[in-house]
């Protein structure tokens, strides 16, 4: 038989519940931060895309599709020039 090392200690149910809750809180915090950064990046992207009228806020997928098409159009313009 091998002896277990490190984390293989017996844990009480209350300790397990506390650990699970702590991990969930940390995971939620990471996800919240990820979404804040993603939304900030999309806002920056929206600020450089030409939209008509100017007060129109594109959805996330509309922003990405518009950016892709805009970059393609600019590339084609350069290619043809």
Task: Please tell me what DSSP assigns to residue 6.
Answer: T
Evaluate if residue 8 carries a pLDDT over 60: no
The phi-psi region of residue 6 (left if phi > 0; otherwise alpha if psi is between -120 and 50; otherwise beta) is left
Give the per-residue pLDDT at 32.
Answer: 98
Give the per-residue pLDDT at 52.
Answer: 77
Q: What homologous superfamily is domain 1-80 in, according to CATH?
A: Helix-loop-helix DNA-binding domain (4.10.280.10)
CA quadruple 72, 34, 44, 64: dihedral positive or negative?
positive
Domain residue ranges of the chain, discontinuous segments joined by +? 1-80
What would the pLDDT profile of 38-66 be if each residue is shown by its tens digit?
Answer: 999 999 999 999 987 877 889 999 999 99
Share of the chain above pLDDT 70, in %: 88
Evaluate if residue 74 carries a pLDDT over 90: yes
């Amino acid at each position: 038989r091998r002896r277990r090392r490190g984390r293989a200690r017996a844990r009480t149910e209350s300790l397990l519940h506390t650990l699970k809750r702590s991990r969930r809180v940390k995971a939620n915090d990471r996800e919240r931060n990820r979404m804040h950064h993603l939304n900030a990046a999309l806002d920056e992207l929206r600020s450089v895309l030409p939209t008509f009228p100017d007060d129109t806020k594109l959805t996330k997928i509309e922003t990405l599709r518009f950016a892709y098409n805009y970059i393609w159009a600019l590339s084609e313009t350069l290619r043809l020039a």
